Structure 1
Amino acid sequence: MPIYEYDCPHCGDFTVLRPMAERDQACACPYCDTASERVILSAPGLATLPGSQRRAHESNERSANAPMNLDEYKASRKHPAGCSCCGPSKPAQRTKANPHGLKASPSARPWMISH
C-alpha cells in the first residue's frame, strides 16, 4: 500500500498508509479526527530505487503511452530489412591467391580470423 499525504485545516499535513482504492477519499486526521483532503507535498521516492529499477520504470513509462507497432519498429532499426551486413554472409569466393575460398588472416596472427 502506498503512503498518501493529507492536509488537515487545523493540525497541518500528515501521511497515511492507505489502499489505492481509497486514494481520492478524504481521510480523518489522526489528531483531531477532521476530514482532510489529499495533497501532493513531496515527489515520489524514485531516488531511493536502484538504477536498474529506475531504468526499467523509465522504459516502461516511455512505451506505455505510444508503443511501436511492427512496421514502426522495422523503420526505426539502424539497418533496413535485408541489408547485407546483418544477414547471412556470402561464402568467400575462390581466387588465385585463395584457391580454397577460405577466410584469410589479415596479419601474421593466424588465430585472428577476419569478419
Structure 2
Amino acid sequence: MPFYDYECAECGVFTALRPMAASAEPCDCPDCGTSAPRVILRTPNFALMEPGMRAAHATNERSTVSPKSTQAGHGPGCSCCSAKPSSRTLTRPDGSKAFPTARPWMVSH
C-alpha cells in the first residue's frame, strides 16, 4: 500500500498508508478525527526506483514532449525525401548487366 498526503483544516498535513482503491476518498485525521481531503504536495520518489524503471520513465517523458523525428510530417520510409538506395546492378552500354558487388562465381540472369 502506498502513502498519501492529506490536509486537515485544524491540524495540518499528515501522511497515511492506504490502499490505492481508497486514495481519492477523504481520510480521518489521526489527531482530531475530522475528515481530511487528499492533497498532492510532492512528486513520486524516483530515487528509490530501480534504474531500469527510472530509465523507462525518463524515455516515456521525453517521447511525449519531443518525439524522435528526422523531419516533421514524414514517417519512416518516406519516399519523397529519403535517399534512393543505390542499385547493385551495373548496366553496360550494350545493355548487358553486371553485378560488381556480387560473388564472382555467381552467374547473372
Settle same-fold status: TM greater than 0.5. yes
Q: TM-score scaled by structure 2? A: 0.55
SS of the residue aligned with 2:25?
A: coil
Match of 1:51 in 2: 51
How many corresponding residue pairs? Answer: 88
Structure 1 alignment gaps of length 5 or more: 65-71, 85-89, 95-99, 103-115
1:74 to 1:15, Cα distance in 2 relative to 1, 3 A: same
1:27 to 1:62, Cα distance in 2 relative to 1, 3 A: same
Q: Percent identity?
A: 41
**Aligned residues: CA RMSD:** 3.8
- After TM superposition, give the deviation of residue 59 of structure 1 in Å: 3.1
1:54 to 1:13, Cα distance in 2 relative to 1, 3 A: same
Match of 1:36 in 2: 36
Q: Map Cα deviations across residues 60-104 of structure 1 (whole Å, 9 max, x no partner).
A: 45668xxxxxxx76348xxx6x846xxxxx6x738xxxxx749xx
1:83 to 1:52, Cα distance in 2 relative to 1, 3 A: farther
Match of 2:100 in 1: 93
Match of 2:5 in 1: 5
SS of the residue aligned with 1:25?
A: coil
SS of the residue aligned with 1:49?
A: coil
- C-alpha distance in 2 between matches for 1:32 and 1:43: 27
Q: TM-score scaled by structure 1? A: 0.53
- C-alpha distance in 2 between matches for 1:53 and 1:75: 31
Structure 2 alignment gaps of length 5 or more: 65-73, 89-98
Q: Which amino acid aligns with 1:32?
A: C
1:47 to 1:32, Cα distance in 2 relative to 1, 3 A: same
Match of 1:74 among 53, 56, 76: 76
